[in-house]
Amino acid sequence: MRLSPALWSTPAAYLNHAAPDLPVLFFSPATLQDTARRFLAGFPGLVTYAVKANDGDAVLDNLMTAGIEAFDVASPFEMEKIRARNPRAVLHYNNPVRSEAEIRIALGYGMASWSVDDPFELDKLLAAGLPDRTEIAVRLRLPVAGAAYHFGAKFGADPDLAVALLKRVAEAGFVPAMTFHPGTQCEAASAWVTYIEASADVARRAGVRLARLNVGGGFPSHRTGDAPALEVIFAAIGEATARAFGADAPALVCEPGRGLVAESFTLAARIKAIRHDGSVFLNDGIYGGLAELPIVGNIDRITVLGEEGWRTGAAVERVVFGPTCDSLDRLKGAVGLPADARPGDYVVFRGLGAYSTATVTRFNGYGAIEIVTTDFPG
């Protein structure tokens, strides 16, 4: 992937000019900075960016310019990437499973917070010589619905174990905190509220006052229907914390990935062919920039640009395939595309900044995606 230095006003301006035959991701720094400022202004606590959603250099630079100073890092590579840009950035190591070598590397970078969800992982941390008064956040998991898919299947301690871990953290003299991740693309605030109430219950049962509560990521991006009302979620998180913890309310932290970065990228994939059965082949698919669509669901913000302008025909449901020779490489179900779409046109997908560049593969020789900077995402 290369970052094109040219600045175009819109994706259409570039597509009309360059007629690229490779997929293009258009990056709007202004949109990313606006979203970052919206989180900073609205979230009632510290905003950290979950680097895994998109670790592009331009993304990190623009987030820092907008005022993001804290980052959720999961691997030595991510730590190094942030430290290289900002030696004073605050790093939270919230991947709760770490090798001893990774722990040593992280100690070298200086972590402000470590999450833990397992007694053996806590043993490793307690033996590792963390500086005094380091924060250790116990990661809770609950069977909560509401996310496009949830992370509880992999990480997190059930409430009884969380109580035991929290007691041990406090007894060992570390700063006790809790964390959870409600899943990704949570459309409703209820997922956070349930977790906040359960966290307060765990802290009460452990007899521990939490210094901080990290409410994870999961903030939705605009995929279908109306744009999500982030401020409603922010307010619900603040109110639930005050209600559940009362006078002992911990300081809040969040770690959005998708919610911060998704809207700042737009993907244009070219129609390679429309086949005799009406199916459409694009030059990008699930092994490239569209990896998430089969997992999180198709988006409905799709337009088609032809040589003469945006296609306006009535939507026709089409099966959409990616370019590789793997039959899994198709979008779910059918996608409505304008009836007058033609081979050579560009199918433009809005809001694809999260888990797109981050997960692109070169499977079957595809996956070379050009990144072009634009003033506006669409």
Ligand X SMILES: *Cc1c(COP(=O)(O)O)cnc(C)c1O
Out of 133, 276, 325, 365, the active site residue is 325
Judged by CB under 6 A, the residue of 45, 152, 156, 216 near ligand X is 216
- Contact call for residue 257 and ligand X (CB under 6 A): yes
- Shortest separation between residue 141's beta carbon and ligand X, angstroms: 11
Please state, in angstroms and as integers, the Cα–Cα distance from residue 230 to each residue in 4, 210, 225, 256, following that order: 31, 25, 15, 11
DSSP classification of residue 149: B
Report helix, strand or coil for 57: helix
- Contact call for residue 218 and ligand X (CB under 6 A): yes
Separation between Cα atoms, residue 8 and residue 337, nearest integer Å: 26
- Shortest separation between residue 114's beta carbon and ligand X, angstroms: 12
- Shortest separation between residue 37's beta carbon and ligand X, angstroms: 17
254 a catalytic residue: no
Separation between Cα atoms, residue 4 and residue 27, nearest integer Å: 10
CB hemisphere CA count around 51 (13 angstroms): 29
Judged by CB under 6 A, the residue of 28, 35, 184, 356 near ligand X is 184
In the structure encoding, which two tokens stand for residue 305, read together?
A: 């640009």
Judged by CB under 6 A, the residue of 181, 212, 311, 350 near ligand X is 181
- Shortest separation between residue 122's beta carbon and ligand X, angstroms: 17
Alpha helix (H) residue ranges in the chain: 11-18, 29-42, 57-66, 76-85, 100-109, 119-127, 159-171, 190-206, 230-245, 258-261, 293-296
- Contact call for residue 353 and ligand X (CB under 6 A): no
The type of residue at 24 is V
Q: What angle is formed at CA 253 by the lines to CA 79 and CA 209, rounded to 5 degrees?
A: 115
- Contact call for residue 219 and ligand X (CB under 6 A): yes
Separation between Cα atoms, residue 88 and residue 70, nearest integer Å: 9
- Shortest separation between residue 139's beta carbon and ligand X, angstroms: 8
- Contact call for residue 255 and ligand X (CB under 6 A): yes
- Contact call for residue 182 and ligand X (CB under 6 A): no
Nearer to ligand X, 49 or 349 (CB): 49
CA nearest neighbour of 301 among 339, 265, 355, 327: 265
Asked if 266 contacts 377 with a C-beta cutoff of 8 angstroms, the reply is: yes
- Shortest separation between residue 5's beta carbon and ligand X, angstroms: 28
CA nearest neighbour of 303 among 315, 294, 291: 315
Nearer to ligand X, 103 or 320 (CB): 103
Question: How far is Cα of residue 1 from the mean position of the Cα atoms in its chain?
Answer: 20
Stretch that binds ligand X, among 17-25, 56-64, 255-263, 303-311 (CB under 6 A): 255-263
Stretch that binds ligand X, among 211-219, 299-307, 309-317, 322-330 (CB under 6 A): 211-219
* Rounded (10°) angle between helices 159-171 and 119-127: 20
CA nearest neighbour of 318 among 274, 266, 350, 349: 274
- Contact call for residue 258 and ligand X (CB under 6 A): yes
Report helix, strand or coil for 273: strand
Q: Could you give the string, one character per residue 27-66, with x where binding to ligand X holds by CB under 6 A and - elsewhere?
A: -----------------------x-xx-------------
Stretch that binds ligand X, among 100-108, 169-177, 212-220, 291-299 (CB under 6 A): 212-220
- Contact call for residue 94 and ligand X (CB under 6 A): yes
- Contact call for residue 285 and ligand X (CB under 6 A): no
Report helix, strand or coil for 235: helix
Nearer to ligand X, 56 or 257 (CB): 257
Nearer to ligand X, 154 or 209 (CB): 154
Q: Could you give the string, one character per residue 62-91, with x where binding to ligand X holds by CB under 6 A and - elsewhere?
A: ----------x-------------------
- Shortest separation between residue 226's beta carbon and ligand X, angstroms: 19
- Identify the helix (H) or strand (E) that includes residue 176: strand 175-179
Nearer to ligand X, 187 or 255 (CB): 255
- Shortest separation between residue 115's beta carbon and ligand X, angstroms: 7
Q: Mind telling me the catalytic residues?
A: 325
Residues in touch with ligand X (CB under 6 A): 50, 52-53, 72, 94, 181, 184, 216-219, 255-259, 354
